Structure 1
Amino acid sequence: MTRFDAAAAEERQKLFADGIVAHRERASPFVTFEADADASGADDEDGATDSAETGSDDADPETGDDAEQAPPWIQFGDGTLNLDCTDDELDDLKSLLGEFPAFKIDDLTRPEEAEGVNVRVSALADPNRVAQCVERVFREVYDRPESFRAWVTAV
């Protein structure tokens, strides 16, 4: 792989497919796709996010990370998509997967120490079809804006 980010829908989908191909060629455990932290659509007119201006009361005192503002991510490995979501996002994911008959939820895990659910989805399809699904999950489940930037953060 020679590029690791994209901001247009068609380019993101190609990026996701290329990441899956690179993952398979390298026999790596997984590939991780992440939405840019500034891609929440919650920017004000000056481009600053609310949490950047006001700080966050929800920040982890040890790391300073704001769990509410963590960008969404999706991993793919061994024919499985892995992602975290809220209960509302899970409902959206289930609805979306109705349009992808080759994809099905295999496992839901609700860790005691975290809110939300970890979802494992079997995705036994070619890289382009998986990439289509990943793009739609970011846009429709995680509500990313049309021009959000996505990154391949691990291959």
Structure 2
Amino acid sequence: MTRFDADTPAERRELFANAVAAHRERGSPFITIEPEPTPAEAAADEEDLPEDAPEHTIPWIQLAEDTVNLDCTDAELERLTNLLDEYPEFRIDELTSPDDAQGTNVRITARADPDRLGGFFDRVFRSVYGRDEDYRAWVVEI
């Protein structure tokens, strides 16, 4: 991989697919993808708000082998569940909601090729986390 960020739908899907392929080729423990912070998320970093304030937390997606891992608020979890109706080969395996957190950690088994995963990741950021079509995303760890 030579590029680590993208800001158009086609470039993001390609970036995410390339990251999945690199992860699999290298046998790395996981990949992490993050979008550019919204103004509210960026302001929250400057104001030292609690990390568990969901409206101020920058979303992320991790992939380890065939497991997608992400955190969701209740509303985001509902949108994720609806999105998964379009991905019948993906299934939620585990939901964890610690008492001291304002959200749910979701683990999804996603046995799919890099292109299918790349498209799914972009849809999650747009449909679940409400990012605009031109949001910028980074592969921050492989």
**C-alpha deviations, 1:64-109, integer Å up to 9, x for none?**
x684322110001110110000011000000000000100100000
How many angstroms apart in 1 are the aligned matches of 2:93 and 2:25? 25
RMSD: 2.0
Are residues 1:105 and 2:92 paired?
yes
Distance 1:128 1:140 in 2: 18
Contact 2:52/2:102 (<8 A) preserved: no
For residues 61 and 8 of structure 2, what CA distance do their matches in structure 1 show?
18
Larger-Rg structure: 1
| Percent of residue pairs identical | 51
Residue 59 (structure 1) shift:
1.1
Distance 1:72 1:50 in 2: 10
Question: TM-score under structure 1 normalisation?
Answer: 0.84
The structure with more helix, counted as a fraction of residues: 2
What TM-score comes out, normalization by structure 2 length?
0.91
Aligned to 2:21, what secondary structure does the other structure show? helix
- Which residue matches 2:128? 141
1:26-81 CA distance string (max 9 Å, x none): 111110010111xx3xx5xxxxx59639x64x714xxxx68432211000111011
Aligned residues: 140
Q: 2:43 aligns with which of 10, 35, 52?
A: 52
Structure 1 position 114 matched with structure 2 position 104: no
Q: Unpaired segments of 5 or more residues in structure 2? A: none
TM superposition outliers: structure 1 runs of 4+ over 6 Å:
none
Give secondary structure in 2 for the equivalent of 1:146. Answer: coil
2:25 is aligned to 25
Take 1:51 and 1:147, find their aligned partners in 2: how far apart are those partners?
A: 17
Change (3 A) 1:132 1:78: same
CA distance in 1: counterparts of 2:75 and 2:52, whole angstroms: 20
Instruction: Please tell me whether residue 12 in structure 1 is matched to residue 36 in structure 2.
Output: no
Matched AA of 1:52: A
Match of 1:76 in 2: 63
CA displacement at 1:114 relative to structure 2: 1.0
Residue 152 of structure 1 corresponds to 139
Distance 2:113 2:83 in 1: 18
Counterpart amino acid of 2:3?
Answer: R
Aligned AA (1:59): L
